[in-house]
Structure 1
Amino acid sequence: MPVVNIQMFEGRSDESKQKIAKDVTDSIAKHTGVDPQYVYVIFNDVELKNWAISGEVYSETLKKNS
């Protein structure tokens, strides 16, 4: 049972997530032979203040670059 964990910034629509889940599931099933009903996709929506890059919280990076 493959489990795919996708972490991304919050704000994506349910429709967008549905399309991503379908594409990821289809790809896993195609390349592993696993029945798609056993492929799990978990979305973790992360607030910008809870994500850091290069040692700096991303929301602060965006402020500097805007």
Structure 2
Amino acid sequence: MKTMTCKQLGGACDLVFEAETFEEIAELSKQHGMEMYQQQDPAHLEAMAKVQAMMQDPEVMKAWYEAKKREFDSL
């Protein structure tokens, strides 16, 4: 089992996600993000806006994803 925090994944808090694969970590992060969006948490909304801006450029998003996956794999 490996762990990453919301902040490590571009989020706004220190919530820890645990999973066997990066894909599972990404899904847990996505679920947490949806919960924070529903709660309209200001810090998370700001972090989400930054990620959404990054998503406008597929190459930037791909590079970010691959970097986070390498970070996970190195844990």
TM-score tier after normalising by the smaller chain length: 0.3 to 0.5
TM-score under structure 2 length normalisation: 0.35
Larger radius of gyration: 1
TM-score, structure 1 normalization: 0.39
Where is the helix percentage greater, Structure 1 or Structure 2? 2
Higher strand share: 1
